[in-house]
Every structure is written in structure tokens, then in C-alpha cells.
């Protein structure tokens, strides 16, 4: 592609939430239009503020992330702390989350102090030409800026800086970081933009950030650079030393890639950025490519929890149907990237099924990444823990058997901070015809004179009550997402069943709504059993249990028999019983499930000879039950065995 062929046709809006677009099918609502008030997600936001933010600030101080910036800001010579050239991003991601938190009445002084101190250090550390990276700027580091684009992460750093800066500008009206980000971005444009070096960053991330900077400043050069980075990749552009081209998604142009591949986080960040570019540049071919990749991923490479990445080696996605439970990598950052990509595909198309996957990732692969007390993290998210399992989380030596307080490579914890702080941005969207309720939770939503009070304990149950608190009186459409997992959804308006048709996952209510109207959406949530595709060897002969969007797991502490000996026939699942429980002192009340089960203790032979004709054994009668807890709450007690997939007879 010739640089001059970049076609920028998107119209930029002026009031922008976290992710928006001028040319997508729908537009997100500004952050201030949605307030998560109560229930599960409000609990996550509250825990973020009260526990995860203070814990992370402490860790960033103790681990040296902030001191590295201080050394550069003060022209000091203290040794560089930590191992990686991307440790500034952990500060940036935290600042992005804090921009949201500081805009809330609940903001605390310690968060404000950290924000102020960090912003001052970042401003002071920026080089005269706009460059900023406390690793390469450090006097003790022999590598030079831009010397190592494949591993240097400088543009990944720029991406997270831009996202923090845009958040601070939008949420707080504070443009100090934006000024720093623009100077660094302009350096990148001068160096890698049209007529510059034809390189790409080894770790995609900056693409979606550059598009967001374009949306914020209306400066087309940022969109243009993002598009160049997308189109240059895939031609052997990244210099290789340790990792293969596939790791960097540099083995084939994105437009030609037939399956998500390589390093999982790099892949989903790249695809999310490409979707942004497709939206803003009006690039239908690129959009078709990312949709094709998405479909292939959902059909062949996502764990039932929405986790992505089945190999610890190279943190890679793995082959189609290569989805081993105990070795699931499913990095928490990959879950966030998958949601970022899903949201952008929804914005581009208005299609609800991207939101269905978003929701599965949110309540499973993502949420499992954080402990109930908010101060410990899974980096990798397995779907099984064997009784004698010694693997430490995060593929790092030492540390805890379950979640740990921090990592040498701490990318996931601050990513959780920003994502939990931003959850309201992913609740609703609009177009000229409708207000779309994209996710469900207890919240208030305001849009164009319509004010909705949503009361629900979703996903603990499937009843969602929507109070119309104000309405301009003209005809409006409220589009309610009916998740793909749900059969038999129904809705009433002021007690009368609504006959409105559901189409493409949206149930559209078109009325002249009045203040006082009451909409009740009921999403039945029976306990479901899921099998897996026959090519998925790792889970053949097993089933997993889900209720609503929540995937369940069995933990040994709730079960008398070895989890490996418990057998569940799909037919028994309809007799499942629900109860309410608090799994640990820090955990919220949740719904636990008890399913009839049989016990089958196998012989000792590892490879018993099979009889000539092997037919499926008849299920015996259930003799016991297996107790299951939400997967996202697993691992908050003693480190014992856990299984998502249970044996079938
Ligand atoms: O390279 C930066 C981050 O470190 C990646 O996104 C994570 O997978 C971890 O490798
Ligand atoms: Zn991570």
C-alpha cells in the first residue's frame, strides 16, 4: 500500500467516551451517562477503589516502576529497577484507571497524590524530542532508543500513555498527560509516518491508542500512522531474534491471516486496533478481515471461559482446538484485549453476538484474574488444577500456588484496574434509532432525554427491571440484548407482555415511553451442560456447567469425592439445585450449584486394552452430588484441585 492511499473518511464526534467512532454502526455513550449503582459489577468497582488501587500503588512504588521514571525526571543514576522495557506502562494503565476514579465523588487522597506525583514525573522525564521510556533513557542501559523495535516496547509504551492521557482529558479535563502524549506521538509520526522508516512495533497496542488520539484531537496523522502500522505488518517487517514471525503476527498481512495466531495479547490488541482503523478509515475490507478472524477464533480457539491462549510457550494462542484445561494460559490481559476487540466489532456492526462473547469473557476469563479480596492476581487462568499441581501462576518461579500479589512482569494487575474502572463505558450504545443496553447490571443510563433506572442482581439471576425515570415523550426504541445462551426470554411493559420481535440478538421496544413506565426483561437461567467440539481432544468425554453467562467449576473443598472420579450425565443436570453461599470472608454472596453425580474410580492401568467392540457405558444412577462454584471465584480458598470440565459416563 502506498502511504498516499490512506483514505480517512470518518467523521469525528466531539464528546467522546472511552471508545467511540464517527463511522461505526453504533456509538458508545459518554462515561458520564452510565453509573453502575449496585450489584455484582458495582461490587467489582468498589473493590477496585478500596483494595486493588491501593495495593497496586504500593506495588508500583515498591517494585520501582515509579522510581524508574523519577531517575529520568531528576537526571539521577539509581540503577534501573525491574527487568523489562515496558514497566512505565504499569504506571500508565493505573493512571488510566485513576482518571475514572478521580472523577467520582468517592475519590481518595492517596489516589490523587499518586496521580499528581506520577504526572509530574512523566512530564519531567520526557526528552526534548518527545521521547519517553525510562528504560532506554536510563544512563545505565546500553541499548539506545528505537534500537530494538521488536522487543523494545517503545510504541507499546506510547499506546498506554495515550490511553491514560485520553482518559485524563475526558474524565478530568486534565490535559497535562495529553500534551506529553501528543509530543511523543508526533515523534512517532515523524519517525514512522509517511516517508519515514517502514517499521512496526513488536507489540501492537499503539494502533488503538492512535485512533483514540485521532478521535480526541481530530488530527488525521494519528489515524494514518495507525493504518500504516496495520498494513506494514505481515511482510517480515519485525526483526527476529528469539521469537518467530508468527509471535508478532508478522508472518502474513492481517488482511490475509486465516486464523488468530502467535502471542495472544499481541494478537487481540492488533485486531482491536485494526477494527478501530477499519471503522474510522471506512475500510470495509479490513473490517471483513477482522470479522473473519473473530469468527474463526470463537469457533476454534476460545476456551469455554472466553480465555485465549493455550500455550505457556511464547504465551501463544495455539492451534485450532488445542485447548488443554490444565495448561490453559488465557492471560488476563488477553481477556481484556478480547473484550476490547469485541466491543469495537459491536461498534462497527451493531451486532449483539460480539457482546455475548464480551460477557462470557467478562464474567469468566477476566474476572477469575482477580482474587475476592482484590489484592492478588492470576496471570494465566487454567481451567483445571490437578491435586498435586505445583505450577506457580504467571509462568514465573517462586510465589504462591494460586493468585499472587505481584509479578516480575506485572502487565495484568494494572490492566484490571483500568478495566474495572471503565466498566460503565461498555454498558450502552446508541444510534439514530435506538438506545442499546449492551450489558446488564444495576445501573442508571441516561441518553438524549431518556433516563433509565436498571435494577437487577444479574448475573446472579436473570430478571432485569427497567424503570423509565424520565422521557422526552417522543417515540423511542430501547434495544435489549438477548444473550445467545438464553432461551425463552420474555419482556413486559407495565405488566403487559410485549410482542416486539427479537432480531439478531436484540429485542427492540419501540414506544412513546413515559416517566413511570416499567419494563421487565426476564432471561431464564436454567443450569446448562455444555459439551465440546469433537476435534477438541482435551475435553472429549466431559461436560461443563454454566448458568447464564457464568461458567462453573468444581473445587475439591466442596466435594467429598475426588473431582477426577465424579461423573455427571447431561440428563442429570436438569435436577441441579441452586443455593446461596459466601465462599470466603472476602467473597460476595454468590449462587452455587449442586448437580447429581456418580462416582467412578478407575483401575490403575494408564492405557488399558480396549475390548473389541466398545460401546458407551450406560450411565448408572447418580449416587452423590457435585458442588460447583462460579469459575471466577475459584482459588480463593486453600490450593486444592479444581475442574471446569467434569467426566461424563
Ligand atoms: O510484552 C508486554 C506484556 O508482557 C504482554 O502483553 C504480556 O503477554 C507479557 O508478556
Ligand atoms: Zn498481562
37 lines ligand 1 (CB under 6 A): no
| Least confident residue range of 24-28, 307-311, 395-399, 589-593 | 395-399
Q: Which residues does 488 contact at the CB level (< 8 Å), separation at least 6?
A: 524
Nearby residues for ligand 2 (ion, Cβ within 5 Å) = 331, 333, 411-412
| Average of per-residue pLDDT across 600-617 | 83
Which ligand 1 atom is nearest residue 86's CA?
A: 2
Q: How far apart are CA 449 and CA 597, in angstroms?
A: 53
Ligand 2: distance of its center to the CA of 256 in Å?
27
Please give the pLDDT value at position 501.
Answer: 74
Residues of the chain with CATH 1.50.10.10: 13-19+37-426
Q: How far apart are CA 358 and CA 80, in angstroms?
A: 38
Q: Which residues does 62 contact at the CB level (< 8 Å), separation at least 6?
A: none
| Average of per-residue pLDDT across 39-47 | 98
pLDDT tens, residue by residue, 590-600: 999 999 999 99
Please give the pLDDT value at position 619.
Answer: 64
Please give the pLDDT value at position 615.
Answer: 63
**Which carries the bigger pLDDT value, residue 597 or residue 241?**
597
Please give the pLDDT value at position 614.
Answer: 61
**Which carries the bigger pLDDT value, residue 138 or residue 17?**
138
Please give the pLDDT value at position 500.
Answer: 74
315 lines ligand 1 (CB under 6 A): yes
For domain 13-19+37-426, the CATH architecture is: Alpha/alpha barrel (1.50)
Residue 136 is classified by DSSP as T
| Average of per-residue pLDDT across 552-561 | 98
265 lines ligand 1 (CB under 6 A): yes
Nearest one of 118, 124, 81, 71 to 96, comparing CA atoms:
118
411 lines ligand 1 (CB under 6 A): yes
**Smallest CA separation from ligand 1 atom 4, residue:** 411
Q: Is the pLDDT of residue 472 over 90?
A: yes
203 lines ligand 1 (CB under 6 A): yes
Please give the pLDDT value at position 390.
Answer: 76
| Average of per-residue pLDDT across 117-125 | 98
| Average of per-residue pLDDT across 567-585 | 97
Please give the pLDDT value at position 3.
Answer: 34
pLDDT tens, residue by residue, 70-111: 999 999 999 999 999 999 999 999 999 999 999 999 899 999
Tell me the catalytic residues: 315, 411
Please give the pLDDT value at position 597.
Answer: 98
Ligand 1 mutation target, pool 93, 272, 315, 406, most atoms within 8 A of CB: 315
Which residues share a beta bridge with 466?
Answer: 454, 519
Please give the pLDDT value at position 14.
Answer: 28
Residue 611: pLDDT band with limits 50, 70, 90: confident
Q: Is the pLDDT of residue 612 over 90?
A: no
Residue 286 is classified by DSSP as H
19 lines ligand 1 (CB under 6 A): no
Angle of CA points 100, 104, 109, to nearest 5° = 90
> Can you read off the three cell numbers belonging to residue 278?
477499519
Q: What percent of the chain shows pLDDT beyond 70?
A: 94
408 lines ligand 1 (CB under 6 A): no
333 lines ligand 1 (CB under 6 A): yes
**Smallest CA separation from ligand 1 atom 1, residue:** 203
- SS3 sequence of 426-446: HCEEECCCEEEECCCCEEEEE
Ligand nearest to the CA of 83: 1
Which ligand 1 atom is nearest residue 266's CA?
A: 6
The class level of CATH for 428-458+463-522 reads mainly beta
Q: If you count them, how many residues does the chain have?
A: 649
pLDDT tens, residue by residue, 525-541: 999 999 999 999 999 99
pLDDT tens, residue by residue, 266-284: 999 999 999 999 999 999 9
Ligand 1 mutation target, pool 82, 247, 333, most atoms within 8 A of CB: 333
317 lines ligand 1 (CB under 6 A): no
Ligand nearest to the CA of 396: 1
Output the CA–CA distances (angstroms, integers) from residue 608 to 437, 541, 565, 647, in the order listed: 53, 17, 17, 18
Mean pLDDT of the chain: 94
Nearest one of 242, 245, 248, 235 to 204, comparing CA atoms:
248
Which ligand 1 atom is nearest residue 156's CA?
A: 2
Ligand nearest to the CA of 411: 2
**Smallest CA separation from ligand 1 atom 8, residue:** 265
Residues of the chain with CATH 2.60.40: 428-458+463-522
| Least confident residue range of 24-33, 173-182, 470-479 | 24-33
Residue 2: pLDDT band with limits 50, 70, 90: very low
pTM for this predicted structure: 0.96
Look up cell 461458567; give the residue. Answer: 551
Residue 464: pLDDT band with limits 50, 70, 90: very high
Please give the pLDDT value at position 392.
Answer: 67
Ligand 2: distance of its center to the CA of 151 in Å?
16
Please give the pLDDT value at position 401.
Answer: 87
Please give the pLDDT value at position 106.
Answer: 86
Please give the pLDDT value at position 388.
Answer: 87
| Average of per-residue pLDDT across 446-469 | 98
Residue 9: pLDDT band with limits 50, 70, 90: very low
Ligand nearest to the CA of 267: 1
Amino acid at each position: 500500500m502506498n502511504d498516499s492511499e490512506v483514505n480517512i473518511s470518518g467523521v469525528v464526534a466531539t464528546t467522546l467516551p472511552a471508545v467511540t467512532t464517527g463511522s461505526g454502526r453504533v456509538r458508545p455513550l459518554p462515561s458520564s451517562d452510565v453509573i453502575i449503582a449496585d450489584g455484582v459489577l458495582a461490587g467489582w468497582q468498589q473493590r477496585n477503589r478500596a483494595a486493588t488501587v491501593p495495593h497496586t500503588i504500593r506495588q508500583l512504588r515498591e517494585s520501582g516502576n515509579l522510581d524508574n521514571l523519577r531517575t529520568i525526571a531528576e537526571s539521577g543514576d539509581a540503577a534501573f529497577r525491574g527487568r523489562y522495557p515496558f514497566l512505565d506502562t504499569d504506571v500508565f494503565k493505573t493512571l488510566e484507571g485513576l482518571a475514572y476514579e478521580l472523577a467520582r465523588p468517592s475519590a481518595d487522597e492517596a489516589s490523587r497524590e499518586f496521580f499528581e506525583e506520577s504526572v509530574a514525573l512523566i512530564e519531567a522525564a520526557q526528552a526534548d524530542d518527545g521521547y519517553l521510556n525510562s528504560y532506554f533513557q536510563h544512563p545505565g542501559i546500553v541499548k539506545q532508543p528505537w534500537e530494538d523495535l521488536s522487543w523494545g516496547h517503545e510504541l507499546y509504551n506510547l499506546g498506554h500513555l495515550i490511553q491514560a492521557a485520553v482518559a485524563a482529558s475526558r474524565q478530568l479535563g486534565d490535559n497535562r498527560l495529553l500534551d506529553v502524549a501528543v509530543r511523543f506521538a508526533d515523534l512517532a509520526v515523524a519517525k514512522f509516518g509517511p516517508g519515514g522508516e517502514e517499521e512496526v512495533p513488536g507489540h501492537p497496542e499503539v494502533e488503538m491508542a492512535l485512533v483514540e488520539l485521532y478521535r480526541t484531537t481530530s488530527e488525521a496523522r494519528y489515524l494514518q500512522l495507525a493504518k500504516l502500522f496495520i498494513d506494514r505488518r505481515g511482510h517480515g517487517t519485525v526483526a527476529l531474534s528469539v521469537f518467530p514471525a508468527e509471535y508478532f503476527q508478522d508472518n502474513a498481512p492481517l488482511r490475509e491471516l486465516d486464523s488468530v495466531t502467535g502471542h495472544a495479547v499481541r494478537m487481540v490488541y492488533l485486531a482491536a486496533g485494526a477494527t478501530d482503523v477499519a471503522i474510522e478509515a471506512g475500510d470495509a475490507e479490513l473490517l471483513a478481515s477482522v470479522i473473519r478472524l473473530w469468527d474463526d477464533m470463537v469457533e476454534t480457539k476460545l476456551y469455554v471461559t472466553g480465555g485465549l491462549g493455550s500455550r505457556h510457550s511464547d504465551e501463544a494462542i495455539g492451534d485450532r482446538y488445542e485447548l488443554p484445561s490444565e495448561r490453559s494460559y488465557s492471560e488476563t490481559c488477553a481477556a481484556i484485549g478480547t473484550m476490547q476487540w469485541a466491543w469495537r466489532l459491536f461498534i462497527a456492526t451493531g451486532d449483539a453476538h460480539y457482546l455475548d462473547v464480551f460477557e462470557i469473557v467478562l464474567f469468566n476469563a477476566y474476572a477469575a484474574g482477580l482474587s475476592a479480596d482484590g489484592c492478588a492476581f492470576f496471570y494465566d487462568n487454567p481451567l483445571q488444577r490437578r491435586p498435586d499441581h505445583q505450577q506457580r501462576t504467571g509462568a514465573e518461579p517462586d510465589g504462591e500456588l494460586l493468585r499472587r500479589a505481584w509479578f516480575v512482569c506485572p502487565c495484568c494487575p494494572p490492566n484490571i484496574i483500568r478495566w474495572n474502572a471503565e466498566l460503565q463505558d461498555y454498558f450502552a450504545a446508541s444510534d439514530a434509532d435506538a438506545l442499546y443496553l449492551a450489558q446488564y447490571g444495576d445501573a442508571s443510563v441516561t441518553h438524549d432525554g431518556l433516563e433509565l433506572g436498571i435494577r437487577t442482581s444479574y448475573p446472579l439471576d436473570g430478571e432485569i427491571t427497567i424503570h423509565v425515570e424520565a422521557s422526552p415523550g417522543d417515540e423511542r426504541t430501547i434495544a435489549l440484548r438477548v444473550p445467545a445462551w438464553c432461551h425463552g426470554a420474555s419482556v413486559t411493559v407495565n405488566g403487559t407482555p410485549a410482542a416486539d420481535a427479537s432480531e439478531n440478538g436484540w429485542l427492540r421496544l419501540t414506544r412513546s415511553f413515559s416517566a413511570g413506565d416499567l419494563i421487565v426483561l426476564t432471561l431464564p437461567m436454567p443450569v446448562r451442560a455444555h459439551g465440546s467440539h469433537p476435534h477438541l481432544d482435551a475435553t472429549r468425554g466431559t461436560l461443563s456447567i454454566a448458568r447464564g453467562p457464568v461458567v462453573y467449576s468444581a473445587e475439591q473443598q466442596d466435594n467429598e469425592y475426588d473431582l477426577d472420579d465424579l461423573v455427571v450425565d447431561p440428563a442429570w443436570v436438569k435436577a441441579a439445585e441452586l443455593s446461596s453461599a459466601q465462599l470466603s470472608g472476602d467473597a460476595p454472596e454468590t449462587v452455587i450449584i449442586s448437580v447429581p453425580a456418580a462416582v467412578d474410580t478407575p483401575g490403575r492401568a494408564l492405557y488399558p486394552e480396549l475390548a473389541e467392540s466398545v460401546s458407551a457405558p450406560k450411565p448408572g444412577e447418580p449416587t452423590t452430588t457435585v458442588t460447583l462454584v462460579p469459575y471466577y471465584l475459584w482459588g480463593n480458598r486453600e490450593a486444592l484441585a479444581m475442574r471446569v470440565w467434569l467426566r461424563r459416563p
